[in-house]
Amino acid sequence: MANVISDETIDYVGILAKLELSDEEKEQAKKDLEEMLDYIDKLGELDTENVEPMSHVFPVENVFREDVVTNGDDRDNILKNAPEEKDGMFVVPSTF
């Protein structure tokens, strides 16, 4: 079964992935995605009707602790990595 990725689908994936693709990149992405999905379709050969999906190999449980702060205030150091900052806050372009 050959997968066909439409223009709409690749635009939608771009929105989900928060990526802006040029027309050339879009064509390449369609081709790559089709090829990978054709390959992944191989999993369809297996009967998994009564199989429980396994997200973790070990049983994982929620780990609880008291809500106590153990790390100090490192605001100034953290802000040093910010592309832009002002008065102890991150600056971003207009949000609307």
Partner 1 sequence: MDLLHYTATELGEKIKAKEVSVKEATEAVLDRIGETEEQYHCYVTLDKEGALKKAEEVQKGIDDGTLTSPLAGVPVAIKDNMCTEGMLTTCSSKILGNFVPTYTSEAVKKLEAAGAVILGKTNMDEFAMGSTTETSAFGPTKNPWNTEHVPGGSSGGSAAAVAAEECYYALGSDTGGSIRQPASYCGVVGMKPTYGTVSRYGLIAYGSSLDQIGPLGKDVRDIATVLEAIAGHDSKDSTSIERKDTDFTSALIDDVKGMKIGIPRDYFAKGIDADVKDRVLAASKVLEEKGAILEEFDLPLVEYAIPTYYTIADAEASSNLERFDGVKYGFRAEDCEELHQMYKRSRSQGFGPEVKRRIMLGSFVLSSGYYDAYYLKALKVKALIKKGFDEAFSKYDMILGPCAPTTAPRLGESLSDPMKMYLGDIYTISVNLAGLPGISLPCGTDANGLPVGLQLIGNIFEEKKLIKAAYAYEQARGAFSIDSVKEAH
Residues in contact with partner 1 by CB under 8 A are 9, 12-14, 16-21, 25, 29, 32-33, 35-37, 39-40, 42-44, 46, 48, 51-58, 60, 63, 65, 74, 77-78, 80-84, 90, 92-96
Decide whether 20 or 67 has the Cβ nearer to partner 1.
Answer: 20
Decide whether 7 or 84 has the Cβ nearer to partner 1.
Answer: 84
Q: What is the largest CA-CA distance in the chain?
A: 58
DSSP at 24 = H
DSSP at 68 = -
| Residue 34 burial (10 A CB sphere; 0-12, 13-18, 19+) | middle
CB of residue 3 vs partner 1: minimum separation in angstroms?
10
